[in-house]
Amino acid sequence: MAGKILLEVVTPEKMLLSQEVDEVIAPGSEGEFGVLPGHCHLLSSLRIGELRYKAQDAWRYMSILWGYAEVTPSKVTVMAEIAEKAEDIDVGRAQQAVEKAEQRLQAGGLPSEVKEAQISLEKARLRKRIADRAKKSGHA
């Protein structure tokens, strides 16, 4: 179909999404990138971040924790280590995770532990942000 791209999101656990969309914005490891139909070929690794896609004039959100994306003019394939749709995120749990991660970061410790805590805080904040956003836009 002209003017559409097929967005497919898979994780090792399951196939999360396979849908025709108008636009995708993904968290590339060297900065976010947007994909419109007819985008040139691209292979990128992904960092922790949010994946946005527009379908039927509404933006949807998804959290991505690492992975890869292959872009062709008509298709975007996202292979994420972990991914969650905004609708599936439990806001309460996300909030708790943020607090826990913050505490761990405060507690300090070995450099490797601090690094780990930073990553989990980033993950937790991301999930919370996405969940909040989904709620606001009204399809939580």
Residues that bind other proteins (CB under 8 A): 8, 10-15, 28-30, 33, 40-45, 68, 70, 72-74, 77, 79
The distance of closest approach from Cβ of residue 90 to other proteins in the complex, given in angstroms and rounded to an integer, is 21
Please, what is the minimum distance in Å from the beta carbon of residue 61 to other proteins? Answer: 21
- Alpha-carbon gap, residue 68 to 66, rounded angstroms: 7
Nearer to other proteins, 69 or 134 (CB): 69
Of 45 and 96, which CB lies nearer to other proteins in the complex structure?
Answer: 45
Task: Tell me how far apart the alpha carbons of residues 52 and 16 are, in angstroms, rounded to a whole number.
Answer: 14
Of 96, 109, 4, 99, nearest to 55 (Cα)?
4
Minimum Å gap between C-beta 22 and other proteins is 19
Instruction: Give least dist CB 98 to other proteins, A.
Output: 28
Whichever of 45 and 137 has its CB closer to other proteins, that residue is 45
Question: Which residues sit opposite 95 in a β-bridge?
Answer: none
Tokens, residue 26:
């993904």
Specify the residue, 74 or 95, whose C-beta has the smaller distance to other proteins.
74
Q: Which of 27, 77, 70, 73 is nearest to 52 (CA)?
A: 27
Cα–Cα distance measured from residue 87 to residue 66, given in angstroms and rounded to the nearest whole number: 20
